[in-house]
């Protein structure tokens, strides 16, 4: 996993609540056995007018010319609900997103983002409203400073919090499996004490 | 004493919740500055969310630490018309063959096509006795919460976590808040477990339990059979809960006794003694509590595009004006547009053209019996599936299918015009060819009514097996109690 330190990027405001992972990456694209090839299908049914994904939907926010190259997704509550498919954060990452800002995330999606180094930032509903209002009038850029848990946008800045270990893993680009494998002796000791039915 | 949680409890001398006991029983390491490391007792896998995890293991040259704690099945992608691997298309076949190869290479038991134990992962775990109280069970699928019906801490995980469990048999988890949902009293005639859970989600909204582990309790929950409890816990994720739990009791132990993978002999006797401790102590505190009266629960139908957008069968399609919160107003408005519904329409006036009876929520033998019972009543009046409706019944596993056929349920369905299919996830998510066309309106016993879930532009109404069966025959929703 790549280390995350700071990131500055263009914001695309997706004004929708309860965006589920079926919307982020529909099921017909889950048949791959590799980890790549999902970005082109991100938000497929919203992004394309046709089933085969050739005809772009000009009304969908990600397709508007002013948001090309955006790397920060601003969205509403309960983002990433539904299916546990990690293909959803893979698709967002492959499309070019580094950061998702929302008032709340579904639990499994949030964990999946942390595990692949896509930074999910929770702000208050008021702060989110402020950013939506600002982004409606102009293109905005946000700078995320992970070490200081701060995002800034022009004259505004907001603090966010992150679990201390999540922060460490993101900053260091930790291979979490390798990290836990260093604790095999502790795991073995635990296994020896387990009851027979467990 | 073999239960870690009891040691902790006596030290603290305070009442604890079932969730806390499960947590304490599984802490491998809880170190300052690190997310706690929990032991995983059972890992269930399927073809869709495992290939990239296996590929990463191979890349790092790491083994599966406990292949005997891992069980694989084929369910998401498979055809419900043929047991041939190639029957569901090239992409599916590739994923299924990849699972076969990986299971062989890493020594994992696989219930592949044609195997007597094959079926939907959350149906076969319990019916084989792989799902046990007091354990942690994970699977790369959000409906893993189903297994919480046994008093197991069970939750869905992503593919990176699947890899972590493969390599270490552990997972890092932050502790959730606790929610107690109490359903007291006795449900009315014809009210199913599906109606109970949809009514709960209607009260909490689709994200009402995000960050929580929910424990269901109260006399109406205790009265449920194991299969009904599974239906309730299955949909915990649909209001955001990390997991749903029901304390194990005699119903649980009786269900598990003698199952293929259940403990036997002395281990079984010790297990029962230990499992009885896995319940919330009197006086234990929850972060939040919700209380429902079972008598108030009516037959439920979703009208929108999240499971929380639900009403009772005698209700009407709501209007955005019925909501005060702006986000809910906007969501209602968008859902009505997508669903092609007009506010104020009686739910019983909504016509449907597709019916799906199946999924990890409602494909067990009791579900099929309940649906067949409704069908048989209509048949006695000379009625069968409406000429405007295509209806399929997809049993949850080969064992369920065999049992249903032994009871003649397949004949009741077929004679009435339902298609009797082979087990799999099928139209719940439509990864195979069981998909709806744009504009199709489906009465579905599955768990998600998201936009496009059953096919692009399709419209899903979540209902109980009884209501799905009746709707297939009448061609519209019906109030079976009126």
The yes-or-no verdict on residue A81 having pLDDT over 50 is yes
Query: Which chain A residues touch B330 with a CB distance below 8 Å?
Result: 17
Stretch A129-145: mean pLDDT, rounded?
A: 95
The yes-or-no verdict on residue B9 having pLDDT over 90 is no
What percent of chain B has pLDDT above 70? 97
- Let me know: does B355 contact B468? Beta carbons within 8 Å: yes
B158/A86 CB distance under 8 A = yes
Can you spell out the DSSP letters for A93-156?
HHHT--EEEES-B-HHHHHHHHHHT-EEEE--HHHHHHHHHHHHHS--EEEEETTTTEEEETTE
Can you spell out the DSSP letters for A16-27?
-SS-BHHHHS-G
State how far the Cα of A101 lies from the Cα of B281, in Å rounded to an integer: 40
Instruction: Confirm or reject contact between A36 and chain B (CB < 8 A).
Output: no
Confidence band for A76, pLDDT divided at 50, 70 and 90: very high
H or E element at residue B4: helix B4-12
Stretch B51-71: mean pLDDT, rounded?
A: 98
Pairing between β-strand B310-312 and β-strand B390-393 as defined by DSSP bridges? unpaired
Best B165, B240, B274, B276 residue to mutate vs chain A (most A CBs within 10 Å): B240
Pairing between β-strand B441-444 and β-strand B459-462 as defined by DSSP bridges? parallel
Query: Which chain A residues touch B169 with a CB distance below 8 Å?
Result: 187
Instruction: Confirm or reject contact between B41 and chain A (CB < 8 A).
Output: yes
Of B159, B210, B242, the CB nearest to A104: B210
Confidence band for B481, pLDDT divided at 50, 70 and 90: confident
Sign of the alpha-carbon dihedral angle for A12, A15, A17, A23: negative
Can you spell out the DSSP letters for B187-251?
PPTT--HHHHHHHHHHHH-TTTTTTEEEEEESHHHHTS-HHHHHHHHHGGGGGT-SEEE----HH
The yes-or-no verdict on residue B93 having pLDDT over 50 is yes
The yes-or-no verdict on residue B4 having pLDDT over 90 is no
> What's the pLDDT score for residue A137?
86
The yes-or-no verdict on residue B2 having pLDDT over 90 is no
Instruction: Confirm or reject contact between A194 and chain B (CB < 8 A).
Output: yes
Q: Nearest residue on chain A to B208, judged by CA atoms?
A: A78
Instruction: Confirm or reject contact between B14 and chain A (CB < 8 A).
Output: no
At B459-472, the pLDDT tens digits run 999 999 999 999 99
B52/A184 CB distance under 8 A = no
Q: How far is A44 from chain B (nearest CA, A)?
A: 10
Confidence band for B137, pLDDT divided at 50, 70 and 90: very high
> What's the pLDDT score for residue B431?
94
Q: A129 to each of A124, A134, A143, A144, B287, how far by Cα in Å? A: 9, 9, 18, 18, 28
Confidence band for B482, pLDDT divided at 50, 70 and 90: confident
At B340-373, the pLDDT tens digits run 999 999 999 999 999 999 999 999 999 999 999 9
B327/A77 CB distance under 8 A = yes
Of A45, A187, A191, the CB nearest to B451: A45
Stretch B213-222: mean pLDDT, rounded?
A: 98
Confidence band for B14, pLDDT divided at 50, 70 and 90: confident
At B414-449, the pLDDT tens digits run 999 999 999 999 999 999 999 999 999 999 999 999
Instruction: Confirm or reject contact between A174 and chain B (CB < 8 A).
Output: no
Query: Which chain B residues touch A18 with a CB distance below 8 Å?
Result: 206-207, 306, 331
Residue from A152, A157, A107 nearest B236 by CA = A107
At A36-58, the pLDDT tens digits run 999 999 999 999 999 999 999 99
Query: Which chain A residues touch B431 with a CB distance below 8 Å?
Result: 27-28, 30-31
At B243-260, the pLDDT tens digits run 999 999 999 999 999 999
State how far the Cα of B391 lies from the Cα of B441, in Å rounded to an integer: 12
> What's the pLDDT score for residue A70?
98
Query: Which chain A residues touch B306 with a CB distance below 8 Å?
Result: 18, 20, 81
Confidence band for A94, pLDDT divided at 50, 70 and 90: very high
Instruction: Confirm or reject contact between B452 and chain A (CB < 8 A).
Output: yes
> What's the pLDDT score for residue B115?
98
Confidence band for B141, pLDDT divided at 50, 70 and 90: very high
Confidence band for B12, pLDDT divided at 50, 70 and 90: low
């Amino acid at each position: 996993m790549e280390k995350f330190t700071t990131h500055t990027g263009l914001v695309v405001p997706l004004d929708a609540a309860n965006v589920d992972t079926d919307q982020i990456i529909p099921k017909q694209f889950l048949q791959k056995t590799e980890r790549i090839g999902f970005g082109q299908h991100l938000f497929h049914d919203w992004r394309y007018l046709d089933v085969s994904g050739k005809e772009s939907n000009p009304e969908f926010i990600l397709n508007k010319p002013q948001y090309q190259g955006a790397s920060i997704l601003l969205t509403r509550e309960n983002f990433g609900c539904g299916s546990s498919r990690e293909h959803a954060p893979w698709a967002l990452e492959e499309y070019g997103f580094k950061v998702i800002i929302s008032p709340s995330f579904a639990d499994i999606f949030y964990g999946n983002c942390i595990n692949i180094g896509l930074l999910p930032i929770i702000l208050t509903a008021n702060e989110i409203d402020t950013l939506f209002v600002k982004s409606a009038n102009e293109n905005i850029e946000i700078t995320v400073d992970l070490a200081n848990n701060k995002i800034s946008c022009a004259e505004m800045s907001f603090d966010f919090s992150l679990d201390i270990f999540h922060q460490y893993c993101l900053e260091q680009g930790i291979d979490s499996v390798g990290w836990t494998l260093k604790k095999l002796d502790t795991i073995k000791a635990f296994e020896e004490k387990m009851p027979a039915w467990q | 004493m073999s239960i870690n949680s009891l040691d902790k409890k006596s030290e603290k001398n305070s009442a604890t919740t079932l969730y806390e006991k499960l947590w304490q029983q599984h802490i491998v390491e809880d170190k300052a500055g690190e997310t706690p490391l929990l032991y995983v007792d059972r890992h269930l896998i399927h073809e869709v969310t495992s290939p990239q995890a296996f590929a990463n293991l191979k890349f790092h040259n790491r083994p599966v630490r406990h292949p005997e704690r891992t069980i694989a099945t084929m369910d998401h992608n498979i055809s419900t018309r043929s047991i041939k691997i190639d029957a569901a298309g090239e992409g599916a076949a590739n994923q299924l063959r990849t699972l076969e190869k990986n299971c062989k290479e890493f020594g994992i038991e696989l219930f592949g096509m044609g195997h007597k134990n094959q079926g939907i992962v959350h149906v076969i775990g319990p019916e084989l006795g792989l799902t046990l109280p007091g354990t942690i069970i994970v699977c790369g699928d959000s409906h893993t919460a189903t297994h919480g019906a046994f008093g197991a801490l069970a939750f869905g995980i992503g593919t990176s976590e699947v890899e972590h469990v493969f390599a270490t048999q552990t997972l890092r988890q932050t502790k959730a808040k606790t929610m107690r949902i109490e359903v007291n009293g006795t449900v009315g005639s014809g009210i199913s477990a599906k109606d109970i859970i949809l009514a709960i989600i209607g009260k909490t909204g689709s994200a009402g339990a995000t960050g929580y582990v929910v424990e269901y309790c109260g006399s109406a929950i205790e009265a449920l059979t194991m299969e009904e409890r599974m239906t309730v816990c299955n949909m915990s994720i649909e209001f955001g809960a990390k997991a749903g739990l029901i304390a194990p009791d005699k119903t649980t132990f009786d269900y598990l006794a003698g199952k293929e993978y259940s403990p036997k002999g002395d281990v079984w006797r010790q297990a029962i003694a230990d499992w009885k401790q896995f319940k919330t102590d009197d006086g234990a505190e929850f972060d939040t509590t919700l209380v429902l009266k079972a008598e108030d629960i009516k037959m439920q139908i979703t009208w929108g595009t999240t499971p929380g957008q639900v009403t009772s069968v005698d209700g009407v399609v709501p209007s955005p004006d019925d909501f005060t919160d702006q986000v809910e107003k906007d969501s209602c408005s968008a859902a009505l547009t997508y669903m092609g519904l007009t506010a104020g329409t009686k739910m019983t006036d909504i016509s449907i053209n597709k019916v799906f009876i199946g999924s990890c929520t409602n494909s067990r033998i009791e579900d099929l019996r309940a649906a067949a019972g409704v069908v048989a009543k209509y048949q006695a009046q000379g009625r069968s599936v409406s000429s405007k409706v295509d209806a399929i019944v997809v049993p949850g596993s080969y064992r369920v299918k065999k049992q249903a056929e032994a009871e003649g349920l397949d004949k009741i369905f077929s004679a009435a015009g339902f298609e009797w299919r082979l087990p799999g996830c099928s139209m719940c998510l439509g990864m195979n060819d069981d998909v709806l066309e744009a504009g199709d309106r489906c009465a579905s016993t599955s768990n998600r009514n998201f936009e496009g879930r059953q096919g692009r532009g399709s419209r899903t109404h979540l209902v109980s097996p009884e209501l799905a069966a009746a709707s297939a025959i009448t061609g519209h929703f019906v109030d079976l109690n009126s």
